[in-house]
Amino acid sequence: MSHNRVNFKSIVVVGPQHPDTLPKSVFEALKDMSYNVNAVDEREMLGISHRKDIGSRGRLGFFTKLKSFVINNLIRLSPKFEARVYNRLARIVESYEPDLIITHSAWIPPQAIARLKKNTKAKIVSWFPDHPGNFGRQYLLAAPYDFLFFKDKWLVDLARRVKRNAYYLPEACMPKWHKRVELSEDEKEKYGCDVTTAGNMYYYRVIIFEELMKYFKVKLWGAGIPRWIDSPIKNVYQGGVVAELEKSKAFNAAKVVVNTFQGEVFGVNQRFFEIAGCGGFQICEEREEVGDFFKIGEEIVTFSDIDDLKNKISYYLVHEEERKKISDAAYARAQKEHTFQKRLEKMFQVISG
């Protein structure tokens, strides 16, 4: 794929490298663009990598969870321990002699970024992968980043009010694994249903799917339903994560993929682009930003409340040709315009001025 190349000789991507994360997608896209790129996963450095320890059903083991809990709380509660951990991270990043560093964490302390500014000649940017509710201690505002990129316009406005160099950059799909795939009969049986989604479960999302499962065949995918959620949706939870190519299979096999924006204020989630990139038929929440990416009614369908969602699912389940026409149009646009290569080209345009 052709792209407008910016001459970075060495790039370091900082962030978790398990499937479908923003850092892994950025790392893989940069490799595909022929950049010299290295990944530094702070969780691997701490010995709590989800990538290594995730089970066959998409769940972390008890001792991995316990270790992660202890270490994360030591970082949060002890400034000295935090400094030691992130000084080590900085040393690893420095060893690659980068001229561009892209971080994807809200938890890197300002002192570590200041050290990287002092000890390298790199431009240092952050592309925050989460919604405002997970902005943490707001280290991103205190650290001396050259550029901040957010998927939510609310955070862009917040950062600009305190004179930070912030820009809006939504997430995307990854065509190497978010794509249409041929399904075997066993895969059609495993993933096939009226309605699906993949992601974490919160009561807002739970309430919506509790209602849908009364009327439609529903299958839910994710890392597990928290024990504190008391809900019949546990009966339609499929017992594991779908990611990358497996996510494409799940979204292709389902007739409708429902997408809710649990935490975004003025933006959309990564699943929004993944569904389209996989060729799934998406019904998502009404939101002004939706129309910035896809033509509503032609490339995507939106809903205003549960009743509207039920009515639209019922309609499109019996209008297969309309469903296919809309998903085909979204697929073409996602594969052409909403890829991580396109987003990185935009980032590099901003960085290079």
List CB contacts of 191: < 8 A, sequence separation 6 or more. 183, 219, 249, 250, 252, 253, 254
- Nearest partner of 223 among 205, 208, 239, 202, judged by Cα: 239
d(CA 242, CA 219) in angstroms, rounded, equals: 12
Per-residue pLDDT of the chain in tens (353 residues, 90 and over written 9): 445 667 899 999 999 998 999 999 999 999 999 999 999 987 766 654 444 444 444 445 554 555 555 556 566 667 787 788 888 899 999 999 999 999 998 889 999 999 999 999 999 999 999 988 888 889 999 999 999 999 999 999 999 999 999 999 999 999 999 999 999 999 999 999 999 999 999 999 999 999 999 999 999 999 889 999 999 999 999 989 999 999 999 999 999 999 999 889 999 999 999 999 999 999 999 999 999 999 999 999 999 999 999 999 999 999 999 999 999 999 999 999 999 999 999 999 999 98
Computed on alpha carbons and rounded to an integer, the radius of gyration of the chain in Å comes to 21
Amino acid making up residue 27:
F
- Nearest partner of 171 among 332, 29, 50, 51, judged by Cα: 29
Q: Can you give the pTM of this predicted structure?
A: 0.89
Any idea how long the chain is? Answer: 353
